[in-house]
Chain A
Amino acid sequence: MASTVLVVDDSAMARKMLIRSLPAAWDVEVRQATNGLEALAAYRQGDVDVMFLDLTMPEMDGFQVLEALRAEGLNCLVVVVSADIQPEAQERVKRLGAIAFVKKPVDAEKLGVVLREYGVAL
């Protein structure tokens, strides 16, 4: 069965780069959101298995999305994909429930390792 992934980033290019970095053998349905508010709306519609979440976004940033998701039970795996590479940013998102932090620009191999660790991709 295909997994549903939600790619959240204000940049169309960043979303495209992330989608192209997903493991080729992974059967996914890709949905997209351009800010935190859209991400939450998409999440609430259900079925999202994995969310790829940028941190620096207008309207509502990635930290705020993680907090909101936690308040709602965090029913999906969240991989933060961000250029904010401060060690503290990485610790914070993990404390907020993200399973992993992947830095931009995304390295497809490292992303694959993270996903396989959680058994969500081949």
Chain B
Amino acid sequence: MSTALFSEDQRDALQELTNIGMGQAGASVAAVLGEFVMLSVPRILVLKPNLIPPALGRIVGPEKVTAVRQGFHGDLRGEAVVVYGVAHCRELADLMGYDEALDEATERELLLDVSNVLVGACLGGLAEQINAEMGFSAPSLMATEVEVASLLDVQRMDSPCALFVEVNFSLEKRSFACHLIMLLPEDQILVLRDAIDRFLASL
């Protein structure tokens, strides 16, 4: 459907603005984990809600996932979801220097902290460039060790389409990776598109 919601120039701009946010997020998480973070080109898709789970599946693969959601509001309203493969969640504890297996509460806290850093830096970086004021709600655990397909309740999304912005972080020396998805409903896609137009016009 409406890839036509974005012109080629608008899509290119959104990808580059996201790229800059992603770079800031990568640097923040590299500082937290003490490891070099490998970045790839962000992917921008406009999807019908029922096509979001397969898109997620393509990124994450067949393994079960744990995910953290964090809402954002203000000039731009939507939801960021950070998806971790289950094996990678455990790796995270090791990376943070915990020797022993973590209890559930500590592991959860760790996931929320890392997600918060990623979302804040990535979306904050994007918002800053388009002069959008944005606030974040507290991150919360969305699902633990579930199939990708059941992660999002797409039946409940009332928007005819959603913007799916995919950012992937992986570590060079460790088998850790996570994926940040930004979901915007259709009315907010239009808000974002106008903001991108203003940004492009200012160049």
Question: A residues within 8 Å of B by Cβ?
Answer: 10-14, 16-17, 20, 55-58, 82-89, 103-105
Contacts and interface: CB of A to CB of B under 8 A. Distances in A.
A57 B104 CA distance: 38
A18 to B, nearest CB: 11
A110 to B, nearest CB: 16
- Chain B, interface SS category: helix
Contact of B41 (A17, A56, A87, A89): A56
A83 B19 CA distance: 7
Contacts of A13: 9, 12-13, 16, 200, 203
11 contacts: A11-B12, A14-B16, A16-B203, A56-B19, A83-B20, A83-B21, A83-B23, A83-B24, A86-B36, A104-B20, A105-B129
A84 B22 CA distance: 8
A12 B24 contact: no
A28 B183 CA distance: 42
Contact of B15 (A11, A82, A84, A103): A11
Contacts of A88: 30, 36
Interface residues on B, range: 20 to 34
Interface string B6-39: 0001001101100111111011001000001101
Contacts of A82: 23
A79 to B, nearest CB: 16
Contacts of A86: 26-27, 30, 36-37
B166 to A, nearest CB: 14
A89 B30 CA distance: 11
Nearest to A82: B23
A105 B27 CA distance: 15
B40 interface: yes
A14 B15 CA distance: 10
The 6 closest A-B pairs by CB, nearest first: A83-B23, A11-B16, A83-B20, A85-B27, A86-B30, A86-B27
A79 B37 CA distance: 21
B26 A84 contact: yes
